[in-house]
């Protein structure tokens, strides 16, 4: 699809965020099970729950901005994938399945990858909210602002958990 307007760019960005949130929603419950630190596991569960809400919000916004095209009408949305979040979450899943990694080191790696996913989404929501404001779509800007706030809060909580998880991994390193 040719991107001719900021509105079309916004739709593509929201489509990409939707793909990322769906991956997060489906992957984080397994990561929560793989994490050995209870706080990290809880943080992963929270991220899965938040992603479920964000998918619903994005579905509503996209339904309004770019309803599915009628047969024969040009499609505004393309089936966008989110290769970045897909690659990050694939790495998380591989780590979760790897039983040879020290549990504390695995937790440190999982926390780092989860932080990448969160910051990737943060950047996406920040751009999308700016574009929604610029095209005068205040309702979409407000909705995206709520998800952006959720991502900021989750990133702050995860940073605290990661600091503790990293400390435990460093203690293992000193013992080795």
Applying CB under 5 A, the residues found at the interface with Fe ion are 51, 54, 121
Least spacing, CB of residue 10 vs Fe ion, in Å? 17
Least spacing, CB of residue 128 vs Fe ion, in Å? 12
Least spacing, CB of residue 143 vs Fe ion, in Å? 13
Q: How far, CA to CA in Å, does 36 sit from each of 42, 47, 118?
A: 10, 16, 20
Q: Specify the residue, 54 or 104, whose C-beta has the smaller distance to Fe ion.
A: 54
Q: Specify the residue, 40 or 169, whose C-beta has the smaller distance to Fe ion.
A: 40
Per-residue b or e along 9-48, where b marks 16 or more CB atoms closer than 10 Å to that residue's CB? ebbbbbbbbbbbbbbbbebbebbbebbebebbbebbbbbb
Least spacing, CB of residue 151 vs Fe ion, in Å? 6
Contact 125, 144 (CB under 8 A): yes
Nearest to 106 by CA among 43, 169, 19: 169
Q: Specify the residue, 15 or 121, whose C-beta has the smaller distance to Fe ion.
A: 121
- By beta carbon distance, the residue nearest Fe ion is 54
Query: For residues 90 and 95, what is the distance between their CA atoms, to the nearest angstrom?
Result: 9
Q: Specify the residue, 58 or 105, whose C-beta has the smaller distance to Fe ion.
A: 58
């Amino acid at each position: 699809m040719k991107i001719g307007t900021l509105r079309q760019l916004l739709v593509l960005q929201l489509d990409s965020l939707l793909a990322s949130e769906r991956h997060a929603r489906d992957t984080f419950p397994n990561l929560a099970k793989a994490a050995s630190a209870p706080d990290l596991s809880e943080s992963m569960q929270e991220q899965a729950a938040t992603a479920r809400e964000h998918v619903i919000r994005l579905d509503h916004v996209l339904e309004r901005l770019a309803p599915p095209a009628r047969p024969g009408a040009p499609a505004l949305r393309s089936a966008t994938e989110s290769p970045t979040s897909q690659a990050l979450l694939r790495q998380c899943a591989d780590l979760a399945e790897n039983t040879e990694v020290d549990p504390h080191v695995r937790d440190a790696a999982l926390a780092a990858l989860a932080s990448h996913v969160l910051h990737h989404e943060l950047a996406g929501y920040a751009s999308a909210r700016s574009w929604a404001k610029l095209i005068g779509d205040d309702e979409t800007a407000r909705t995206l602002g709520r998800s952006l706030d959720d991502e900021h809060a989750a990133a702050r909580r995860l940073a605290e958990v990661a600091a503790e998880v990293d400390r435990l991994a460093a203690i293992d390193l000193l013992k080795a």
